[in-house]
Amino acid sequence: MLLPIVQVGEPVLRQKARLLRPNEIRSKEIRELIAAMKATMRAAPGVGLAAPQIGRNLQLAVIEDRPDYTKDWTAEQLKAREREIIAFHVIINPKLTLVGDKRIEFFEGCLSLNNLMAIVPRAHHVKVECVDEKGEKRVIDASGWYARILQHEIGHLHGEIYIDHMYPRTLMTVENYKQHWLDKSVAEIKKALRAEE
């Protein structure tokens, strides 16, 4: 079953989501919610979906970066973004730690801000302590694109959206990005748009 994805302006997107209790995590309701979120994320398509995005104020997100999302990308593009296939998984009650001072800048979009994107600086390396859908503890050590996805989705669980971290002058529609900026580097785009003014 596909779920409606709420759009920016919905109060749930700006609230801190509540922790799931241990007895809830393996419940039938949460299993069904995870299955519906997985289907919704894939249909969108997206690489992550947090429970607040479907109107549920819970610290739960699903993540997956499928090979078909980047099938037309060059090896150079994949390397520049440090983007690799990420198998489907669930994070519940995550605690995010930024590792080191290195930051990377790339465009981000969000299923709750349809058809928009902007350059967002993010930590290059993160550690996430969480539990999975079986209630088992997990520690995720991630860098590059995977670290970006984790920061984006965990941000949703704390009432944050990528626009809170973006360079405001780089906000654009996906169509305008493809028409005017696709062949430019992030540095060139930031300079042309005077992003750091």
Among 189, 167, 187, smallest CA distance to 177 is for 189
Report cis status (omega within 30 of 0) of the bond before 52: no
**Ranges assigned E (strand) in the chain:** 48-50, 60-65, 86-110, 113-131, 137-143, 172-173
Helix (H) or strand (E) holding 77: helix 75-81
Tokens 């990377």 belong to 104
Task: Provide φ and ψ at 133, rounded to 5°.
Answer: -70, -10
Cα–Cα distance, 15 to 56 (Å, whole number): 10
- Looking at 153, 160, 175, 188, which residue is catalytic? 153
Is 153 designated active site? yes
Among 46, 1, 12, smallest CA distance to 157 is for 12
Task: Provide φ and ψ at 85, rounded to 5°.
Answer: -65, 135
Tokens 């003014």 belong to 197
Q: Do 135 and 22 meet the contact criterion of CB atoms below 8 Å apart?
A: yes
Q: Which residues are annotated as catalytic?
A: 153
